[in-house]
Amino acid sequence: MAPSDKAVHIFNGAHEFGSTAVAFNPAGTHVVSGGHQGDVKLWDVRRHKLLAEAKPHEGAVRAIAVASQSLFATGADDGRIVIWNSGRILSHPTSTLVTSLVWFQGKLVSGHEDKFLRIWDTSLAEIDKLELEDGINGLTTSGNQLAVALPNRIIVMGADFKTRKVLDTEGATPHDLQFSPDGKRLAAGGWFKLHVWDIASGQHQSIPTEHGGLLTSVSFSPDGKHIVSLGRHTDSAIRIMDTQTFNVERRYQAHELCGAMIRYSPDGRWLVSASDDESIRLYDLSQPYQPR
């Protein structure tokens, strides 16, 4: 086993029966997390302190989308979407579980298992919905681009929600689809491999990794120079790779159970990860790397 560094802080028991989703606020000072039992919590990154908690869902929280310091949304297995707006909480049920959420062109967009892409305003009024060919695995945005992950293809849409390009996944199901910061590439986890697509050419790279199973979550650094991956099966480890060579530059100790989600902070200093082991873990990338 390769030497690995460890988290600077672990919120043990953050979410009973498993932590399922995490997201930073735009300042990188706070983390929003969701759990298997539908609870949502707000954490202070630097003081390692729980600031607030609520239980707006009856199922596992699968998606958190942060728009600003005072506006974010959560979606869960119970099909409910919740918007948190300056302390005001709005809730709307849907007919099927929510797999993904993003803010796009001032609107909230939700992906669902029932093949529908739903579009909401900030008061949670449904503006429109689009039926796609299959259940939606993930959503990601960059500027006026919205990318939608389906089990065997990726659809890239414009600001008008019209299809601009369809990318072939060559049989790989994209997990946790993410745009690169410059909007030119897409990345997603797969079984044992990291998958990367060039949007202009449509070229697909399938990159072997050190993970012993599914890469359940990936996240680009804000400068686009690195991508971090989190394993789910077998290893649940964390690897930071260079985005040109895909060589591993940092390794972090595995969670005790399956990994769920990992994210860079907007300033690139921090990583936060969530896991079935009920923890939320913080990693300070400004500190010297000390693999053990």
pLDDT per position as a tens digit, 251-275:
999 999 999 999 999 999 999 999 9
Find the mean pLDDT for residues 62-67. Answer: 97
Q: How many whole angstroms from its chain centre is CA 104? A: 15
CA quadruple 157, 158, 161, 165: dihedral sign: negative
Across the beta sheet with 163-168, the strand order is 138-142, 145-150, 153-157, 163-168
pLDDT per position as a tens digit, 111-131:
999 999 999 999 999 999 999
**Residues in the chain, total:** 292
CA-CA distance, 144 to 54, in Å (whole number)? 33
pLDDT per position as a tens digit, 152-190:
999 999 999 999 999 999 999 999 999 999 999 999 999
CA-CA distance, 268 to 214, in Å (whole number)? 25
- 282, 274 Cβ separation under 8 angstroms: no
Q: What is the mean pLDDT of the chain?
A: 96
| pLDDT on residue 79 | 97
pLDDT per position as a tens digit, 209-226:
999 999 999 999 999 999
Report how far apart the first and last C-alpha atoms of the chain are (Å, whole number): 10
Please name each of the domains of the chain with its CATH number. Answer: 9-284 (2.130.10.10)
Residue 22's contacts (CB-CB under 8 Å, 6 or more residues apart) are 31, 32, 33, 34, 64, 261, 262, 263, 272, 273, 274, 280
| pLDDT on residue 234 | 72
3-state secondary structure of 218: strand
CA quadruple 126, 130, 134, 138: dihedral sign: negative
